Amino acid sequence: MSFDLYRLPRFPLANLPTPLQEASRLREALGGPAKCPRILIKRDDLTGLAFGGNKVRKLEMLVGDALVRGADTLITTGAVQSNHARATAAAAVVAGLRAILVLESADMCPPVQGNLLLDRLLQADVRFVPKDGDTAKAMETVADEVRAAGGNPYVIPIGGSSPSGAAGYLTMTLELKVQLAAMGASPSRLYFASGSRGTQAGIVLGARVFDMPYEIYGVLVSKSRPETEARALSIANEAAELVGSDVRLNSADLANVDGYFGEAYAIPTPEGDAAVLLLARTEAIFLDPTYTGKSMSALIDHIQTGQLGPDETVVFIHTGGTPAIFAHADRLSELAKA
Ligand SMILES: *Cc1c(COP(=O)(O)O)cnc(C)c1O
């Protein structure tokens, strides 16, 4: 299968490869080898730039593209505790660009902590907009403002989920292939947290391009919408085109695991919080309540309900989100006492 990841402009930001780590204490806590599959954690929380996470891989390609186009300002959007917005602010610093972050918030003066504190330290220009508004339109208004001042803006969609962003995530699968071969492991499933779907597009496309053995379990962290589903598919297929691959996906390739995000995006669940504590106490790995805690709670549930056998191997992608735990300090510290 032909493809060429290196024909895309790429601005180095990440510390790669990230480790693939055996979670044997977690496995022990979940019943040991008699009950629980072998669990390997791909540490994409350790991509390096400004507390890492999955967005750093996407931003290597996005910033590469922005620089080729002569941009001087990155504009993006997300929630107040957006990991993607923080990673974009960090990428802008390293690439010598300005960052303007359009952050959705119910509160026009939210507490400066977690990712928002990092945005401030990184000197990003933060603009708050009301929740559930049209953030794409708000970014266009900001882009017009930059152009009117003689600048050249580069607008990055929410989550960095564009064809080049997804192509950036192909590097994860390439590393995983090499690491699994070195361990002699052939996982039956791969779990990760799925939000704006660029990561999913990259993972699903990567699995096809690199002929990976596993089934893919993208655990939804928010309510699925038909337009997001359609977008995931076009992102994946445009990413394939970008790297010169003739692989094409259909919507069945992009199925998701529903039922683990609770009430809504960024509203914690008891099971997600329990996963945050369990990983801290077994592996000294920090998950977050919005993404990785919820996706880990799906994996734990699938193990506990016998959907996965002890002879299997699973990969869990730790997509990052670590700074957000500080925005949940009160609740998590109460839970930690119990
Ligand atoms: C953004 C994010 C995800 C989801 O990635 P998408 O490409 O938006 O689906 C998962 N985990 C963490 C920690 C994130 O910040």
pLDDT computed for residue 226 by the predictor: 87
Q: Identify the band that residue 1 occupies on the pLDDT scale cut at 50, 70 and 90.
A: low
Q: Pseudo-torsion of CA 46, 52, 57, 60, nearest 10°? A: -130
Closest protein CA for atom 10 of ligand 1: 193
pLDDT computed for residue 271 by the predictor: 98
Peptide bond into 17 cis (omega under 30): yes
CB-CB neighbours of 90 under 10 Å: 24
State which ligand 1 atom lies nearest to the alpha carbon of 320. Answer: 13
Q: Would you give the distance in Å from CA 47 to the centre of its chain?
A: 11
Residues lining ligand 1, Cβ inside 6 A: 53-55, 83-84, 159, 161, 193-200, 288, 291-292, 319-321
Cβ contact 317:214 at 8 Å: no
DSSP structure class, residue 222: S
- Per-residue pLDDT of 112-164, as tens digits, reads 999 999 999 999 999 999 998 899 999 999 999 999 999 999 999 999 999 99
State which ligand 1 atom lies nearest to the alpha carbon of 159. Answer: 8
pLDDT computed for residue 6 by the predictor: 82
Please tell me which residue in 82, 164, 196, 297 is annotated as part of the active site: 82
pLDDT computed for residue 3 by the predictor: 74
- Per-residue pLDDT of 225-275, as tens digits, reads 888 888 899 999 999 999 999 999 999 999 899 999 999 999 999 999 999
Q: pLDDT over 70 for what percent of the chain? A: 99
How many Å lie between the centroid of ligand 1 and the Cα of residue 335? 25
Helices (H), the chain: 24-29, 55-68, 83-95, 114-121, 135-148, 163-168, 170-183, 198-209, 226-242, 270-283, 292-304, 329-337
Mean pLDDT of the residues in the chain: 96
- Per-residue pLDDT of 171-226, as tens digits, reads 999 999 999 999 999 999 999 999 999 999 999 999 999 999 999 999 999 998 88
pLDDT higher than 90, residue 82: yes
Q: Is 24 a catalytic residue?
A: no
- Alpha-carbon distance 73 to 32, whole Å? 50
